[in-house]
Structure 1
Amino acid sequence: MNYGYGLWIMVIVNIVWILLFVVSFIKPKKKREWRSMGVVSAFFVALFTEMYGFPLTIYFLTSVLGYKLPVLNPYSHENGHLLASFGLGVDKALVICQIGSLLFGIGMIIIGIGWWQIHRSKGGLVTSGIYKYIRHPQYLGIFLLTIGMMIQWPTISTLVMWPILMRSYYKLAKREEKEVLNEFGEEYVEYIKETPAFFPFEWNRREINRSNML
């Protein structure tokens, strides 16, 4: 029986390169920023460990719960994608993986654009470019990175961790906005009124009403 895991070098290489990318462009400095980055790190460690190291989700379903997956060898890497193991087929699962890869790539681009604009501003308030459409493009980039990877390789551990990651960055964004409001005052209040937080077509009137309470 072909066992498509145990590739620990691949696990380490993938974890290192993605975390180097995220840390380089997000540039966490404060304790709370590193705390959120720790959640991202744990997410990718869990993801790549199951993708190349040990298929914990497949093992849990087959050995612990006794679920019989409709494939001959659920421990081959081709059937490692949960949708393939549940009978969707390797070809269709690969198409879905490409959708995940596309979201992952878009997330990387958004993170890079957000970093470039912040870097050019040299401490000023950025309200143009991508920041004209969303206030936190780099955090949107992280959301897309992680959603893309969950589509590409869904696991129980990452599905559990993703809401925690989202909540962590949502709270971080709100705390950062309080600091920016203290620095830029009414200018930032007006920016909040005109610009959604995370998604270009998001429009939440409650944010306008709360802008003076940040």
Structure 2
Amino acid sequence: MIIDYGNDPDVIYHDKRPSQKFLAKLSRLLSLFIGLIIFLHIIGFNGHFENGLLFFLKHEYLYLSGYALGMFGLLLCWRAQKEMGRSWRVGIDRKKTELITTGVFKKIRNPTYSGLFLICLGTLMIFHNMLILLWVVTFYISIEFQVRMEEEHLMETHGQAYIDYLKTTKRYFPYLY
């Protein structure tokens, strides 16, 4: 059963602006890339990635920590999206949405992206090779661009309320950044 909340959560894929079109394509490419890497790992095709292995990350506890970090990241994404309700979407559209500043948003402005970063780091701890590291860095850079465009949009949309919110919360991780 599909519930219609009256919005398109994937507006980035329909946006005509060059920046959003670029980030939508990059998002799809990164998704395909990580899917391929994980698929190859699952079927045992790891030999070709061994040259790029980050040996300092090869430890049983890091595997377990990677899974835990990834699961926590998924939980954080789910919670953030649930708390945003009708305001949640991927990308920027011109519909005015409610500014959410409660729940996890009371401490961080972008908990969905924070959760995605934790998933990326968990994935790196599990697969620990240079291709995954490249994927994580590329993903981080693309999200940094997207977040800054979203912040400009939210300043235009919510004005002083959003500026005040910026002063009391960090972008991704409480008390850090």
Task: Give the TM-score band, short-chain normalised.
Answer: 0.7 to 0.9
Distance (whole Å) between structure 1 residues aligned to residue 82 and residue 66 of structure 2? 25
Contact 1:103 1:145 in 2 (8 A): yes
Aligned residue pair count:
150
1:94 to 60, 64, 67: 60
- The equivalent position to 2:25 in structure 1, one of 7, 15, 35, is 35
Q: Would the aligned equivalents of 1:150 and 1:159 in 2 still touch at CA under 8 Å?
A: yes
Are residues 1:48 and 2:14 paired? Answer: no
TM-aligned CA deviation for residue 155 of structure 1 = 1.7
Structure 2 residue 145 is the aligned partner of structure 1 residue 192:
no
CA distance in 2, matches of 1:111, 1:196: 17
Tell me the amino acid that sits aligned with residue 130 of structure 1: V
Compute the displacement of 1:121 (Å).
5.5
Equivalent pair of 1:134/1:195 in contact (CA under 8 Å): yes
Query: Which is higher, the Rg of structure 1 or of structure 2?
Result: 1
Task: Provide, for residues 79-126 of structure 1, a one-character-per-residue CA deviation record: whole Å limited to 9, x for no partner.
Answer: xx864xx8x6xxxx3322100001001100100011001115583100
- Tell me how far 1:36 sits from its aligned partner: 4.7
Shift of residue 50 of structure 1? 3.9
Conservation of the 8 A alpha-carbon contact between 1:28 and 1:34: no
Q: Secondary structure at the match of 2:164?
A: helix
Choose which of 180, 184, 195 in structure 1 pairs with 2:154.
Answer: 180
What TM-score does the superposition give when structure 1 sets the normalisation length? 0.63
Which of the pair has the greater relative contact order for Cα pairs under 8 Å at 6+ separation?
Answer: 2
Cα displacement (A) at 1:30: 1.6
- 2:30–2:139 CA contact under 8 A, matched in 1: yes
Alignment TM-score, normalising by the size of structure 2: 0.75
- Residue 100 of structure 2: SS of its match in structure 1? coil
Amino acid at match of 2:171: A
CA distance in 1, matches of 2:33, 2:110: 20
Partner of 1:57: 49
Aligned-pair CA distance for 1:39: 4.6
2:117 matched residue in structure 1: 143
| Distance (Å, rounded) in 2 between the aligned partners of 1:36 and 1:198 | 21
Separation of aligned partners in 1, 2:70 and 2:33: 14
CA displacement at 1:154 relative to structure 2 = 1.1
Query: 1:43, 1:162 within 8 Å by CA — same for their partners in 2?
Result: no
Percent identity, aligned pairs only, is 22
Q: Aligned partners of 1:149 and 1:106: how far apart in 2?
A: 12
Give the unaligned 5+ runs of structure 1.
1-26, 62-80, 204-214
